[in-house]
Structure 1
Amino acid sequence: MLVTRKRLYGTRRKPPQGGLPSPWLAAVAVVLCCLPGQYSAAQPVGLVTLDVNEVANGYPAETLKLKTIVNDKNETIGKINDFIFSKDGRVFAVLSVGDFIGAGPRLVAVPFNSLKLDDSRGFIVLPGANRAALDKLPVYLYNAQPQASSSKR
C-alpha cells in the first residue's frame, strides 16, 4: 500500500460545529485540571497514622494552662492564657506575664517550642525570661496587629 503525503497527514478539517469538543481540547482540559500541586476530587485525604501511646502521653491544653511558668532562676513569670495556631502550622503560647510592682499583667506571645516542660517540678520553664526581656516583647492583642510595649512601667 502506497502512503501519500495527503493520506499520512490528512486533509485540513473544519472545526466541529456544536456537539462534542475536539479530542485535543479534551486532553488539554484533563492535563490542566490534574497538574501536580492542583487539587482534584480524586486525591486522598492527608491523614497520618499516629501512635496512640505517644498522643496519650502528651499534654492537654487545659492542663498546660494551669501550670506556672518560671524562668531559669525559678522566678515566677506568669501563666499560659491561650494558644494560637498559625496557618503554616506553628504554635504560639499567649502568656499572661507581669504583675510586677505597679504594673498589671499583660499578654505576650512566644513560640511554644521555646517553653520547656519540667515534669519533675510541675512547672513550665521559659529560659532567659526576666523583667527586662519580657518588657521588650510586644503586647499581644487578639485580632489586631501586635503593638510595641512601652518600656516605662
Structure 2
Amino acid sequence: MQPNSDALRRRLHRALAAASITMLTAAVLMPYGTGPAFSQSVVVLDVDVKEVAKGYRASKLSGSNVQNGAGERIGSISDLIVDREKVLFAILQIGGFLGLGAHLVAIPYPALEISGDGSKIVLAQGSKERLQKLPEFKYPQQ
C-alpha cells in the first residue's frame, strides 16, 4: 500500500459520512405527499465539521485534469459516483475534444492522489493507452 493510503481512506470515510448526512437530511426534509404524517426517528451523527470542510468538493474536482506519475495529462474528472455499496468512484474522461469522442472509465476514488489544496490530481500508474483499454463507463438510460 502507498504511504498516504490511510490518510486517503480517512478522507474518503469523512466524505462519505458528510454525503450520508446530506442525503439523510434531504430525505427527512423532503415532503412525502399529502398523506398522513408518521413519526420517525433520525440518527444524528457527531461530525467534526472543521475536518469535513478540509475535504474536496465534488463540484470543484469535476473538470479537473488528471495526470500520471510522470506528469503527463491523461484525462479529466467528469463525475464522481457513489455506487450502491457506498463506494466512491471517479469517472475519468480520456481523450476526445469538448466531450466528443471521449472514453469514460470508472476509477476507484482512493486510486487518485490529490494535493492538499486539490490543485493536482495524480493517477500514478495511469496512461491514456491503459485507460482507453478499460471497459467504457456508460450512464444508464433513464
Q: TM-score, normalised by structure 1?
A: 0.58
Structure 1 equivalent of residue 82 of structure 2: 85
The structure 1 residue matched to 2:135, chosen from 138, 144, 147, is 138
The structure 1 residue matched to 2:93, chosen from 93, 96, 101, is 96
List per-residue Cα deviations over 1:51-101 (Å, max 9, x = no partner). Answer: 01111111111111142110000000111111111111101111111249x
Kindly report which structure 2 residues correspond to 1:1-153, keeping only aligned pairs within 5 A, or say none.
44-99=41-96, 104-119=101-116, 122-143=119-140
One-letter amino acid of the structure 1 residue matched with residue 104 of structure 2: L
For the residues of structure 2 that align with 1:56 and 1:119, how far apart are their CA atoms? 12
Which structure 2 segments of 5+ residues have no match?
Answer: 1-37
For the residues of structure 1 that align with 2:65 and 2:116, how far apart are their CA atoms? 12
Greater length-normalized contact order (CA 8 Å, ≥ 6 residues apart): 2
Between the two proteins, the alignment pairs up a number of residues equal to 102
Alignment RMSD (CA, Å)? 2.6
Which is helix-richer, 1 or 2? Answer: 2
Whichever of the two has the greater Rg, that structure is: 1
Q: Secondary structure at the match of 1:78?
A: strand
- Superposition deviation, residue 47 in structure 1: 3.0
- Superposition deviation, residue 44 in structure 1: 4.9
- Superposition deviation, residue 123 in structure 1: 1.4
Which structure 1 segments of 5+ residues have no match?
Answer: 1-40, 145-153
Q: Secondary structure at the match of 1:95?
A: strand
Runs (4+) of structure 1 exceeding 6 A deviation are none
For the residues of structure 1 that align with 2:118 and 2:137, how far apart are their CA atoms? 28
Identity over aligned pairs, percent: 36
